[in-house]
Structure 1
Protein backbone atom coordinates (compact mmCIF):
# COMPACT_ATOMS: atom_id res chain seq x y z
CA UNK A 1 0.00 0.00 0.00
CA UNK A 2 1.43 3.38 -1.04
CA UNK A 3 1.55 6.14 1.59
CA UNK A 4 -0.67 9.12 0.98
CA UNK A 5 0.88 12.21 -0.55
CA UNK A 6 0.27 14.79 2.16
CA UNK A 7 0.13 18.56 1.76
CA UNK A 8 2.75 18.88 4.52
CA UNK A 9 4.62 15.58 4.56
CA UNK A 10 7.49 16.36 6.93
CA UNK A 11 7.14 14.21 10.07
CA UNK A 12 8.01 17.30 12.08
CA UNK A 13 4.58 18.58 11.01
CA UNK A 14 2.91 15.61 12.70
CA UNK A 15 4.91 16.28 15.87
CA UNK A 16 3.77 19.92 15.75
CA UNK A 17 0.11 18.96 15.31
CA UNK A 18 0.33 16.50 18.20
CA UNK A 19 1.67 19.32 20.38
CA UNK A 20 -0.63 22.22 19.50
CA UNK A 21 -3.65 19.92 19.84
CA UNK A 22 -3.19 20.44 23.59
CA UNK A 23 -3.58 24.23 23.44
CA UNK A 24 -2.52 27.24 21.31
CA UNK A 25 1.26 27.78 21.27
CA UNK A 26 3.96 29.78 19.56
CA UNK A 27 6.70 27.89 17.64
CA UNK A 28 9.39 28.40 20.28
CA UNK A 29 7.10 26.86 22.88
CA UNK A 30 6.38 23.93 20.57
CA UNK A 31 10.10 23.38 20.06
CA UNK A 32 10.78 23.43 23.82
CA UNK A 33 8.05 20.85 24.46
CA UNK A 34 9.23 18.56 21.66
CA UNK A 35 12.78 18.64 23.03
CA UNK A 36 11.54 18.03 26.56
CA UNK A 37 9.73 14.93 25.28
CA UNK A 38 12.92 13.62 23.68
CA UNK A 39 11.71 14.03 20.11
CA UNK A 40 15.21 15.03 18.99
CA UNK A 41 16.04 11.32 19.14
CA UNK A 42 13.56 10.80 16.28
CA UNK A 43 14.10 13.94 14.18
CA UNK A 44 16.12 17.11 13.88
CA UNK A 45 14.34 19.99 15.59
CA UNK A 46 15.54 23.45 14.64
CA UNK A 47 13.60 26.64 15.21
CA UNK A 48 13.99 27.76 11.60
CA UNK A 49 12.64 24.45 10.26
CA UNK A 50 9.81 24.53 12.78
CA UNK A 51 8.77 28.04 11.69
CA UNK A 52 8.71 26.82 8.08
CA UNK A 53 6.59 23.80 8.98
CA UNK A 54 4.22 25.97 11.01
CA UNK A 55 3.75 28.38 8.10
CA UNK A 56 3.08 25.48 5.73
CA UNK A 57 0.53 24.00 8.14
CA UNK A 58 -1.17 27.40 8.32
CA UNK A 59 -1.08 27.75 4.53
CA UNK A 60 -3.03 24.50 4.14
CA UNK A 61 -5.48 25.25 6.94
CA UNK A 62 -4.19 22.77 9.50
CA UNK A 63 -3.36 25.47 12.06
CA UNK A 64 -4.42 29.10 12.35
CA UNK A 65 -3.10 32.25 14.01
CA UNK A 66 -4.97 33.27 17.16
CA UNK A 67 -2.79 36.15 18.35
CA UNK A 68 0.68 37.16 19.50
CA UNK A 69 2.57 37.19 22.78
CA UNK A 70 5.53 39.22 24.00
CA UNK A 71 7.89 38.54 26.89
CA UNK A 72 9.91 41.54 28.05
CA UNK A 73 11.98 43.09 25.28
CA UNK A 74 11.74 40.01 23.06
CA UNK A 75 10.02 40.23 19.66
CA UNK A 76 6.37 39.32 19.41
CA UNK A 77 5.66 35.64 18.88
CA UNK A 78 2.78 34.39 16.77
CA UNK A 79 0.49 31.93 18.54
CA UNK A 80 -1.11 29.10 16.54
CA UNK A 81 -3.91 26.67 17.30
CA UNK A 82 -4.93 23.50 15.52
CA UNK A 83 -8.02 23.56 13.29
CA UNK A 84 -10.61 20.85 12.73
CA UNK A 85 -8.86 20.07 9.45
CA UNK A 86 -5.57 19.79 11.34
CA UNK A 87 -7.08 17.40 13.88
CA UNK A 88 -8.48 15.24 11.07
CA UNK A 89 -5.10 15.26 9.29
CA UNK A 90 -3.27 14.30 12.47
CA UNK A 91 -5.59 11.36 13.21
CA UNK A 92 -5.50 10.12 9.60
CA UNK A 93 -1.70 10.36 9.53
CA UNK A 94 -1.31 8.42 12.77
CA UNK A 95 -3.69 5.74 11.51
CA UNK A 96 -1.60 5.33 8.38
CA UNK A 97 1.73 5.21 10.23
CA UNK A 98 0.50 2.65 12.75
CA UNK A 99 -1.41 0.39 10.35
CA UNK A 100 0.65 0.38 7.15
CA UNK A 101 4.30 -0.74 6.91
CA UNK A 102 6.34 1.45 4.61
CA UNK A 103 9.91 0.94 3.36
CA UNK A 104 12.30 3.05 5.42
CA UNK A 105 15.80 3.60 3.99
CA UNK A 106 18.47 2.74 6.56
CA UNK A 107 22.20 3.33 6.42
CA UNK A 108 22.97 -0.11 7.85
CA UNK A 109 20.93 -1.80 5.12
CA UNK A 110 22.87 0.18 2.51
CA UNK A 111 26.16 -0.98 4.03
CA UNK A 112 25.07 -4.62 4.18
CA UNK A 113 24.09 -4.51 0.51
CA UNK A 114 27.76 -3.96 -0.41
CA UNK A 115 29.40 -5.93 2.43
CA UNK A 116 31.39 -7.84 -0.18
CA UNK A 117 33.57 -4.73 -0.59
CA UNK A 118 35.24 -5.77 2.68
CA UNK A 119 37.14 -8.91 3.54
CA UNK A 120 35.38 -11.39 5.84
CA UNK A 121 37.88 -10.51 8.58
CA UNK A 122 37.26 -6.76 8.36
CA UNK A 123 33.50 -7.26 8.12
CA UNK A 124 33.63 -9.42 11.25
CA UNK A 125 35.67 -6.84 13.17
CA UNK A 126 33.33 -4.01 12.20
CA UNK A 127 30.23 -6.03 13.05
CA UNK A 128 31.72 -6.79 16.48
CA UNK A 129 32.23 -3.05 16.94
CA UNK A 130 28.62 -2.40 15.94
CA UNK A 131 27.34 -5.10 18.26
CA UNK A 132 29.22 -3.63 21.23
CA UNK A 133 27.69 -0.22 20.54
CA UNK A 134 24.22 -1.73 20.11
CA UNK A 135 24.49 -3.62 23.39
CA UNK A 136 25.53 -0.48 25.26
CA UNK A 137 22.67 1.49 23.69
CA UNK A 138 20.15 -1.25 24.50
CA UNK A 139 21.29 -1.31 28.12
CA UNK A 140 20.95 2.48 28.38
CA UNK A 141 17.52 2.48 26.71
CA UNK A 142 16.34 -0.39 28.93
CA UNK A 143 17.45 1.40 32.08
CA UNK A 144 15.83 4.67 30.98
CA UNK A 145 12.56 2.95 30.05
CA UNK A 146 12.42 1.06 33.35
CA UNK A 147 12.95 4.31 35.22
CA UNK A 148 10.37 6.26 33.20
CA UNK A 149 7.70 3.57 33.56
CA UNK A 150 7.68 4.24 37.29
CA UNK A 151 6.18 7.70 36.75
CA UNK A 152 4.95 7.87 33.13
CA UNK A 153 2.01 5.81 31.76
CA UNK A 154 3.12 3.17 29.25
CA UNK A 155 0.91 4.78 26.60
CA UNK A 156 3.34 7.70 26.41
CA UNK A 157 6.42 5.47 26.25
CA UNK A 158 5.31 3.10 23.48
CA UNK A 159 7.72 4.63 20.95
CA UNK A 160 10.65 4.16 23.37
CA UNK A 161 9.58 0.56 23.92
CA UNK A 162 9.48 -0.05 20.16
CA UNK A 163 12.90 1.53 19.62
CA UNK A 164 14.38 -0.70 22.32
CA UNK A 165 12.78 -3.77 20.72
CA UNK A 166 14.15 -2.91 17.26
CA UNK A 167 17.66 -2.31 18.65
CA UNK A 168 17.53 -5.61 20.55
CA UNK A 169 16.35 -7.43 17.41
CA UNK A 170 19.17 -5.90 15.37
CA UNK A 171 21.70 -6.87 18.03
CA UNK A 172 20.40 -10.45 18.01
CA UNK A 173 20.66 -10.61 14.21
CA UNK A 174 24.20 -9.19 14.15
CA UNK A 175 25.19 -11.65 16.89
CA UNK A 176 23.84 -14.53 14.76
CA UNK A 177 25.69 -13.31 11.67
CA UNK A 178 28.92 -13.04 13.64
CA UNK A 179 28.46 -16.62 14.86
CA UNK A 180 28.17 -17.81 11.25
CA UNK A 181 31.24 -15.85 10.17
CA UNK A 182 33.33 -16.94 13.17
CA UNK A 183 32.37 -20.61 12.97
CA UNK A 184 32.92 -20.77 9.20
CA UNK A 185 29.34 -21.85 8.52
CA UNK A 186 28.55 -18.72 6.48
CA UNK A 187 27.80 -19.99 2.93
CA UNK A 188 30.45 -19.07 0.35
CA UNK A 189 32.88 -17.78 2.99
CA UNK A 190 35.89 -19.45 1.37
CA UNK A 191 35.06 -17.95 -2.03
CA UNK A 192 34.56 -14.53 -0.47
CA UNK A 193 37.91 -14.75 1.35
CA UNK A 194 39.72 -15.95 -1.79
CA UNK A 195 38.22 -13.12 -3.88
CA UNK A 196 39.41 -10.45 -1.43
CA UNK A 197 42.88 -12.07 -1.29
CA UNK A 198 43.41 -12.50 -5.05
CA UNK A 199 41.03 -9.95 -6.58
CA UNK A 200 39.49 -12.69 -8.74
CA UNK A 201 35.87 -13.79 -8.44
CA UNK A 202 34.90 -17.40 -8.81
CA UNK A 203 32.75 -18.12 -11.88
CA UNK A 204 29.69 -18.59 -9.65
CA UNK A 205 30.17 -15.22 -7.91
CA UNK A 206 30.89 -13.47 -11.21
CA UNK A 207 27.67 -14.88 -12.67
CA UNK A 208 25.66 -13.64 -9.69
CA UNK A 209 27.24 -10.18 -9.96
CA UNK A 210 26.43 -9.95 -13.67
CA UNK A 211 22.90 -11.15 -13.08
CA UNK A 212 22.39 -8.36 -10.56
CA UNK A 213 23.68 -5.80 -13.05
CA UNK A 214 21.16 -6.95 -15.65
CA UNK A 215 18.09 -6.74 -13.37
Structure 2
Protein backbone atom coordinates (compact mmCIF):
# COMPACT_ATOMS: atom_id res chain seq x y z
CA UNK A 1 0.00 0.00 0.00
CA UNK A 2 1.38 3.41 -0.91
CA UNK A 3 2.25 5.81 1.82
CA UNK A 4 0.00 8.86 2.22
CA UNK A 5 1.58 12.26 1.68
CA UNK A 6 -1.42 14.21 3.02
CA UNK A 7 -0.73 16.06 6.27
CA UNK A 8 -1.85 14.14 9.33
CA UNK A 9 -4.43 15.68 11.66
CA UNK A 10 -3.46 16.51 15.27
CA UNK A 11 -5.54 13.53 16.41
CA UNK A 12 -3.75 11.22 13.98
CA UNK A 13 -0.40 12.45 15.30
CA UNK A 14 -1.58 11.76 18.86
CA UNK A 15 -2.57 8.20 17.86
CA UNK A 16 0.83 7.54 16.28
CA UNK A 17 2.60 8.99 19.30
CA UNK A 18 0.83 6.42 21.50
CA UNK A 19 1.68 3.59 19.12
CA UNK A 20 5.34 4.49 19.46
CA UNK A 21 5.02 3.28 23.05
CA UNK A 22 3.36 -0.06 22.29
CA UNK A 23 0.69 -1.76 20.23
CA UNK A 24 -2.82 -0.98 21.49
CA UNK A 25 -6.50 -0.90 20.62
CA UNK A 26 -8.55 2.31 20.11
CA UNK A 27 -10.34 2.07 23.46
CA UNK A 28 -6.99 2.04 25.29
CA UNK A 29 -5.85 4.99 23.18
CA UNK A 30 -8.94 6.95 24.20
CA UNK A 31 -8.44 6.17 27.89
CA UNK A 32 -4.77 7.14 27.80
CA UNK A 33 -5.48 10.40 25.99
CA UNK A 34 -8.04 11.38 28.62
CA UNK A 35 -5.78 10.29 31.48
CA UNK A 36 -2.89 12.33 30.10
CA UNK A 37 -5.17 15.26 29.20
CA UNK A 38 -4.30 15.05 25.53
CA UNK A 39 -7.89 16.20 25.00
CA UNK A 40 -6.73 19.69 26.07
CA UNK A 41 -4.71 20.05 22.86
CA UNK A 42 -6.51 17.66 20.49
CA UNK A 43 -10.24 17.58 19.74
CA UNK A 44 -11.29 14.14 20.98
CA UNK A 45 -14.93 13.53 20.11
CA UNK A 46 -16.90 10.28 20.40
CA UNK A 47 -16.12 8.13 17.38
CA UNK A 48 -13.51 10.50 15.97
CA UNK A 49 -10.60 8.41 17.19
CA UNK A 50 -12.03 5.22 15.68
CA UNK A 51 -12.54 7.00 12.36
CA UNK A 52 -8.94 8.28 12.50
CA UNK A 53 -7.62 4.78 13.22
CA UNK A 54 -9.55 3.36 10.26
CA UNK A 55 -8.17 6.05 7.97
CA UNK A 56 -4.60 5.48 9.15
CA UNK A 57 -4.97 1.76 8.51
CA UNK A 58 -6.33 2.43 5.04
CA UNK A 59 -3.29 4.61 4.32
CA UNK A 60 -0.89 1.88 5.43
CA UNK A 61 0.40 3.97 8.32
CA UNK A 62 -0.78 1.47 10.95
CA UNK A 63 -1.74 -2.19 10.71
CA UNK A 64 -3.75 -4.79 12.61
CA UNK A 65 -1.53 -7.09 14.67
CA UNK A 66 -4.10 -9.00 16.72
CA UNK A 67 -7.15 -8.83 18.96
CA UNK A 68 -7.75 -8.69 22.70
CA UNK A 69 -10.71 -9.80 24.79
CA UNK A 70 -11.40 -8.97 28.43
CA UNK A 71 -14.16 -10.94 30.13
CA UNK A 72 -17.40 -10.80 28.18
CA UNK A 73 -16.50 -7.64 26.34
CA UNK A 74 -16.26 -7.77 22.53
CA UNK A 75 -12.89 -8.42 20.96
CA UNK A 76 -10.83 -5.30 20.42
CA UNK A 77 -8.58 -4.87 17.43
CA UNK A 78 -4.95 -4.09 18.28
CA UNK A 79 -2.91 -1.84 15.99
CA UNK A 80 0.79 -1.18 15.48
CA UNK A 81 2.85 1.33 13.53
CA UNK A 82 4.18 0.25 10.17
CA UNK A 83 7.64 1.26 9.01
CA UNK A 84 6.01 3.62 6.52
CA UNK A 85 3.95 5.05 9.39
CA UNK A 86 7.09 5.78 11.41
CA UNK A 87 8.54 7.65 8.45
CA UNK A 88 5.35 9.68 7.95
CA UNK A 89 5.24 10.54 11.65
CA UNK A 90 8.87 11.70 11.73
CA UNK A 91 8.49 13.75 8.54
CA UNK A 92 5.41 15.54 9.83
CA UNK A 93 6.86 16.10 13.32
CA UNK A 94 9.87 17.79 11.72
CA UNK A 95 7.69 19.96 9.49
CA UNK A 96 5.38 20.97 12.36
CA UNK A 97 8.31 21.89 14.61
CA UNK A 98 10.07 23.95 11.95
CA UNK A 99 7.16 25.74 10.24
CA UNK A 100 4.68 28.08 11.99
CA UNK A 101 1.20 27.02 10.95
CA UNK A 102 -1.46 29.47 9.79
CA UNK A 103 -4.10 28.85 12.44
CA UNK A 104 -7.45 30.55 12.95
CA UNK A 105 -8.24 31.00 16.66
CA UNK A 106 -11.54 32.61 17.68
CA UNK A 107 -10.19 35.35 19.95
CA UNK A 108 -8.83 37.65 17.19
CA UNK A 109 -12.19 37.33 15.40
CA UNK A 110 -13.99 38.34 18.60
CA UNK A 111 -11.63 41.28 19.16
CA UNK A 112 -12.30 42.50 15.62
CA UNK A 113 -16.05 42.33 16.28
CA UNK A 114 -15.84 43.94 19.74
CA UNK A 115 -16.24 47.52 18.53
CA UNK A 116 -19.74 46.64 17.28
CA UNK A 117 -20.75 46.16 20.92
CA UNK A 118 -21.45 48.80 23.51
CA UNK A 119 -18.22 49.58 25.38
CA UNK A 120 -19.62 48.50 28.76
CA UNK A 121 -20.85 45.25 27.25
CA UNK A 122 -17.48 44.53 25.59
CA UNK A 123 -15.64 45.29 28.83
CA UNK A 124 -17.95 42.98 30.75
CA UNK A 125 -17.17 40.12 28.34
CA UNK A 126 -13.44 40.80 28.53
CA UNK A 127 -13.55 40.77 32.33
CA UNK A 128 -15.37 37.43 32.16
CA UNK A 129 -12.60 36.13 29.91
CA UNK A 130 -9.99 37.30 32.40
CA UNK A 131 -11.70 35.34 35.19
CA UNK A 132 -11.95 32.23 32.99
CA UNK A 133 -8.26 32.47 32.04
CA UNK A 134 -7.22 32.86 35.66
CA UNK A 135 -9.23 29.74 36.57
CA UNK A 136 -7.68 27.71 33.72
CA UNK A 137 -4.18 28.84 34.63
CA UNK A 138 -4.76 27.82 38.24
CA UNK A 139 -6.03 24.42 37.07
CA UNK A 140 -2.98 24.09 34.80
CA UNK A 141 -0.71 24.78 37.74
CA UNK A 142 -2.28 21.96 39.76
CA UNK A 143 -1.51 19.53 36.93
CA UNK A 144 2.02 20.89 36.53
CA UNK A 145 2.71 20.59 40.26
CA UNK A 146 1.46 16.99 40.18
CA UNK A 147 3.75 16.14 37.26
CA UNK A 148 6.69 17.76 39.00
CA UNK A 149 6.13 15.61 42.10
CA UNK A 150 6.24 12.53 39.87
CA UNK A 151 9.59 13.70 38.47
CA UNK A 152 8.42 13.20 34.88
CA UNK A 153 10.94 14.45 32.32
CA UNK A 154 9.69 17.82 31.13
CA UNK A 155 9.87 16.83 27.47
CA UNK A 156 7.10 14.29 28.20
CA UNK A 157 4.69 17.17 28.91
CA UNK A 158 6.36 20.08 27.15
CA UNK A 159 3.26 20.76 25.03
CA UNK A 160 1.24 21.33 28.21
CA UNK A 161 3.87 23.78 29.48
CA UNK A 162 3.64 25.67 26.17
CA UNK A 163 -0.16 25.92 26.42
CA UNK A 164 0.11 27.08 30.03
CA UNK A 165 2.49 29.90 29.09
CA UNK A 166 0.34 30.78 26.10
CA UNK A 167 -2.65 31.22 28.43
CA UNK A 168 -0.57 33.36 30.78
CA UNK A 169 0.46 35.61 27.88
CA UNK A 170 -3.17 35.91 26.73
CA UNK A 171 -4.26 36.79 30.28
CA UNK A 172 -1.60 39.49 30.66
CA UNK A 173 -2.49 41.00 27.27
CA UNK A 174 -6.24 40.94 27.99
CA UNK A 175 -5.77 42.52 31.42
CA UNK A 176 -3.79 45.34 29.79
CA UNK A 177 -6.53 45.78 27.19
CA UNK A 178 -9.20 46.08 29.90
CA UNK A 179 -7.08 48.64 31.78
CA UNK A 180 -6.43 50.64 28.59
CA UNK A 181 -10.13 50.70 27.68
CA UNK A 182 -11.18 51.65 31.22
CA UNK A 183 -8.64 54.47 31.40
CA UNK A 184 -9.32 55.77 27.89
CA UNK A 185 -5.77 55.09 26.71
CA UNK A 186 -7.50 53.14 23.97
CA UNK A 187 -10.56 55.24 23.07
CA UNK A 188 -13.76 53.47 22.08
CA UNK A 189 -14.70 54.02 18.40
CA UNK A 190 -17.69 56.23 19.30
CA UNK A 191 -15.29 58.71 20.90
CA UNK A 192 -12.60 58.43 18.22
CA UNK A 193 -13.85 57.10 14.85
CA UNK A 194 -10.27 56.63 13.58
CA UNK A 195 -9.55 55.65 9.96
CA UNK A 196 -12.47 54.99 7.67
CA UNK A 197 -13.74 51.45 7.59
CA UNK A 198 -12.52 49.41 4.68
CA UNK A 199 -9.05 50.93 4.54
CA UNK A 200 -6.21 48.45 4.67
CA UNK A 201 -3.42 48.84 7.21
CA UNK A 202 -1.16 50.08 4.41
CA UNK A 203 -3.76 52.64 3.27
CA UNK A 204 -4.19 53.92 6.83
CA UNK A 205 -0.44 54.31 7.23
CA UNK A 206 -0.25 56.26 3.98
CA UNK A 207 -2.98 58.61 5.13
CA UNK A 208 -1.21 59.29 8.43
CA UNK A 209 2.07 59.94 6.59
CA UNK A 210 0.52 62.13 3.93
CA UNK A 211 1.69 59.66 1.30
CA UNK A 212 -1.57 59.23 -0.58
CA UNK A 213 -1.34 58.70 -4.30
CA UNK A 214 -2.43 61.74 -6.27
Q: TM-score range by the shorter chain?
A: 0.7 to 0.9
Change (3 A) 1:73 1:144: closer
Contact 2:11 2:49 in 1 (8 A): yes
Structure 1 counterpart of 2:129: 130
Q: Greater helix percent: which structure? A: 1
The 8 Å contact of residues 19 and 30 in structure 1, kept in 2 or not, is answered as: yes
SS of corresponding position for 1:80: strand
Structure 2 unaligned regions, length at least 5: 204-214
Per the alignment, residue 64 of structure 2 pairs with 65
* TM-aligned CA distance change 1:24 to 1:210, over 3 Å: closer
State which drifts further: 34-43 or 44-53: 44-53
> Is this contact kept in 1: 2:7–2:92, CA < 8 A?
no
Structure 1, unaligned stretches of length 5 or more?
196-201
Q: Deviation per CA, 1:30-61, whole angstroms, max 9, x where unpaired?
A: 11111111111122324522221111111111
Matched, 1:142 2:141: yes
TM-score, structure 1 as length reference: 0.83
Q: State whether structure 2 residue 190 is matched by structure 1 residue 193.
A: yes
- Compared with structure 1, are the counterparts of its residues 50 and 180 closer, same or farther at alpha carbon in structure 2 (3 Å cutoff)? same
Relative to structure 1, the CA distance from residue 72 to residue 144 in structure 2 (aligned partners, 3 Å threshold; closer, same or farther) is closer
What is the aligned partner in structure 2 of residue 95 from structure 1?
94
Q: Using the alignment, how far apart are the partners of 2:69 and 2:147 within structure 1?
A: 35
Partner Cα distance (2:46, 2:28) in 1: 10
Confirm or deny: 8 A CA contact 2:8 2:92 kept in the other structure.
Answer: no
Give 2:164's aligned residue. 164
State the distance in 1 between where 2:161 and 2:78 align: 33
Range moving further from structure 2, 8-17 or 161-170: 8-17
Q: CA RMSD in A?
A: 2.1
1:12 Cα deviation (Å)?
Answer: 0.9
* TM-score normalised by length of structure 2: 0.83
| Distance in structure 1 (CA, Å) of the matches to 2:88 and 2:57 | 13
How many residues end up aligned between the 2 structures? 197
Please give the alpha-carbon distance, in whole angstroms, between the structure 2 residues aligned to 1:157 and 1:33. 14
SS at match of 1:114: helix
